[in-house]
């Protein structure tokens, strides 16, 4: 009898606990299950987005190696999709750089410039923005927009200082400022150190002396 009373007390205590905390337990269990499901869903979505972005990037790379107006259209379309729909994927920035180079080779300077300006203004990728600015200065040089080109070379990051100085020399030379171009190229030699590019810079200086 004592045993039955003890069991009944335990059951009554359990029932009372459940009446007090049961709803809370159900809610907590639901929140945990929903959180796990949401996290797995987010991971799937992220993976799906990355897979789609990679597909567009590969299509862009493939089109960039081909010739003809159709290839240009496909390069621009793939890059636009990456920038519009997958801007945070990493493929958008790399795609814009590939597209810009492809368009530059085809003489589509305005279109190439637009790609690089997006990288500089919108990408937020601190590692690739300096490269985009360097290439943008080169396109502006080809367009004879010298002051705009020089403005891209301000505040050069240390890892690009030598390359920026070399490009500055190119722009100054195109403006007919030979002394300033010489000084810029000399500075580039110092900053580049043992980089193989110093041979090309030295050739520019030598050619300037002979001009």
* pLDDT of the residue at 1: 46
- Report the 3 state secondary structure along the chain: CHHHHHHHHHHHHHHHHHHHHHHHHHHHHHHHHHHHHHHHHHHHHHHHHHHHHHHHHHHHHHHHCCCCHHHHHHHHHHHHHHHHHCCCCCHHHHHHHHHHHHHHHCCCHHHHHHHHHHHHHHHCCCCCHHHHHHHHHHHHHHCCCHHHHHHCCCCCCHHHHHHHHHHHHHHHHHCCCHHHHHHHHHHHHHHHCCCCHHHHHHHHHHHHHHC
* pLDDT of the residue at 53: 80
Domain spanning 66-152: CATH 1.20.1060: no
* pLDDT of the residue at 44: 46
10-residue stretch averages of pLDDT, the chain, 211 residues long:
59 67 66 56 52 84 85 90 86 92 93 95 84 96 97 93 97 96 96 92 88 57
* pLDDT of the residue at 200: 94
* pLDDT of the residue at 61: 87
- What is this structure's pTM? 0.73
* pLDDT of the residue at 101: 94
Q: What residue ranges do the domains of the chain occupy?
A: 66-152, 161-211
């Amino acid at each position: 009898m004592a045993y039955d009373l003890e069991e009944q007390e335990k059951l009554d205590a359990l029932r009372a606990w459940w009446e007090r905390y049961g709803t809370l337990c159900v809610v907590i269990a639901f929140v945990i299950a929903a959180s796990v499901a949401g996290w797995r869903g987010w991971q799937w979505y992220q993976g799906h987005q990355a897979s789609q972005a990679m597909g567009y990037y590969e299509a862009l790379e493939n089109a960039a190696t081909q010739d003809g107006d159709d290839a240009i259209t496909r390069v621009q379309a793939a890059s636009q999709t990456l920038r519009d729909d997958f801007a945070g994927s990493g493929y958008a920035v790399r795609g814009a750089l590939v597209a810009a180079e492809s368009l530059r080779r085809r003489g589509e300077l305005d279109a190439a410039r637009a790609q690089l300006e997006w990288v500089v203004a919108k990408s937020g990728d601190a590692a690739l923005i300096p490269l985009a600015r360097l290439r943008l200065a080169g396109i502006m040089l080809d367009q004879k927009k010298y002051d705009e080109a020089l403005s891209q070379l301000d505040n050069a990051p240390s890892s690009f200082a030598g390359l920026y100085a070399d490009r500055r020399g190119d722009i100054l030379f195109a403006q007919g400022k030979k002394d300033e171009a010489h000084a810029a190229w000399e500075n580039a030699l110092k900053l580049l150190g043992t980089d193989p590019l110093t041979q090309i810079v030295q050739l520019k200086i030598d050619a300037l002396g002979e001009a």
